[in-house]
Amino acid sequence: MTTPVRLRPEIAALPPYRQGKQASPDAFKLSSNENPFEPLPAVVDALRGAVTVNRYPDATASELRAALAAKYGVTTDEVHVGAGSVSLLLQFIQAAAAPGDEVVYAWRSFEAYPGLVTVAGATSVQVPNRADGSHDLVAMAAAVTERTRLVIVCSPNNPTGTTVTTHDFETFMAAVPDDLLVVLDEAYAEFVTDPDAVDGESLTERHPNLVVLRTFSKAYGLAALRVGYAIGASSVLDAARATAIPLSVTEQGQAAALASLEHESELMTRVDRIAMLRDQVRQALVDQGWDVPAAQGNFVWLPTGEQTATAAGVFADHGIIVRPFAPEGIRITIGEPSSVDKLLHAAQQVRQNTS
């Protein structure tokens, strides 16, 4: 595309962010891995109390960081808060990788990674997932070169839903250089039920080159408020803080996140219900004959292959908006329990059309 001004060609060529299609009023929007639950009354109260909009918010989110530090047993300097974990990802990429440097990550994984690496001027090195949709950590370690400045590991992986095991992750950390930054993107950590899955929470003390990313968007249901956080060594977080656009985390976001931490057990009950529904949906899809990878986030992956675009249309006809990743598959969020029958009917019809 030609533009009237000179732009960085690799940026001009980037596709704009695609949001899942807006659902018609009676369709279920299962395309953005959102939480179907309304905010808790305590969160609504916190938002009502956060009405100072003529002043800038607390730039360092000090109260929220203190609450997160207490939750994880780390110091406040070992917590960094950003406007969604996607903005933190960009900060770490910019802090570590300059033009000519490489960023290694699995593919397919979170669709934002390639664009963020390009924005930083660095080069993406994508390592194909294994046939079951999981990261190939051995190949990812082998892909590290002298130019590699960052590796992103996504567990549970968006969009395939698989986790990496603690054992494989530790082997990976032992295989890569001690001074190579590793970001463990755990946006869906709270939905994990597999005891073998890595839990970054306990690992940053042992690995000063590891940063763990989490978010209030998914399990805590605050996607619109844009609050994510990183746990890691303070000197590494300082570098991210240096690249951050100041004052991006709103007072409303900080207040709602704090209220959510205060009512965490209630929120985690909701998370448990979503995880149980996820397991039921996955099992029903497997019973239909689908090869659905182990699902540990709030979504399942349907390998529809070349039929992906058509299949997304069948789901839409059934009132289910999904996220297609042609030509590989479809990602379906676990949302309202009342969406499940329609979802399974649509999957059954796609199955019949393709077999």
The residue (of 207 and 214) whose beta carbon lies closer to ligand PMP is 214
Phi, psi of 38 (to 5 degrees): -65, 160
- Site membership for ligand PMP, residue 228 (CB under 6 A): yes
Query: Which residues in 108-164 belong to E strands, given as ranges?
Result: 123-128, 148-154
Taking a C-beta distance cutoff of 8 angstroms, is the pair 57, 348 a contact? no
Residue 220 C-beta: closest distance to ligand PMP, Å: 10
The residue (of 152 and 344) whose beta carbon lies closer to ligand PMP is 152
Phi, psi of 35 (to 5 degrees): -90, 130
Residue of the chain from 42, 119, 180, 223 that contacts ligand PMP (CB under 6 A): 223
> Residues 302-320, buried b or exposed e (16+ Cβ, 10 A)?
bbbeebbeebbebbbebbb
The residue (of 23 and 351) whose beta carbon lies closer to ligand PMP is 23
Q: Which CA distances in Å does 191 have to 163, 186, 268, 269, 270?
A: 11, 10, 9, 11, 10
- Site membership for ligand PMP, residue 295 (CB under 6 A): no
Per-residue contact flags (x/-) with ligand PMP for residues 176 to 205, judged by CB under 6 A: ---------x-x------------------
DSSP 8-state symbol, 47: H
Tokens representing residue 102 in the block: 């490489």
- Listed ranges 1-9, 83-91, 100-108, 311-319: which one lies at the site for ligand PMP (CB under 6 A): 83-91
Residue of the chain from 36, 39, 57, 84 that contacts ligand PMP (CB under 6 A): 84
Question: Which of 63, 85, 64, 65 has its CA nearest to residue 74?
Answer: 65
Per-residue contact flags (x/-) with ligand PMP for residues 29 to 48, judged by CB under 6 A: ----x---------------
- Listed ranges 84-92, 203-211, 269-277, 322-330: which one lies at the site for ligand PMP (CB under 6 A): 84-92
- Site membership for ligand PMP, residue 217 (CB under 6 A): yes
Taking a C-beta distance cutoff of 8 angstroms, is the pair 134, 156 a contact? no
**CA–centroid distance for 199 within its chain:** 15
Question: Which of 247, 254, 296, 256 has its CA nearest to residue 274?
Answer: 296
The two most distant CA atoms of the chain are separated, in Å, by 60
Output the residue with the shortest Cβ distance to ligand PMP.
84
- Site membership for ligand PMP, residue 86 (CB under 6 A): yes
Residue 127 C-beta: closest distance to ligand PMP, Å: 16
Sequence-separated (6 or more) residues with CB below 8 Å from residue 349: 314, 318
Per-residue contact flags (x/-) with ligand PMP for residues 146 to 165, judged by CB under 6 A: --------x---x-------
Query: Site residues (CB under 6 A) for ligand PMP?
Result: 33, 84-86, 110, 154, 158, 185, 187, 215, 217, 223, 228
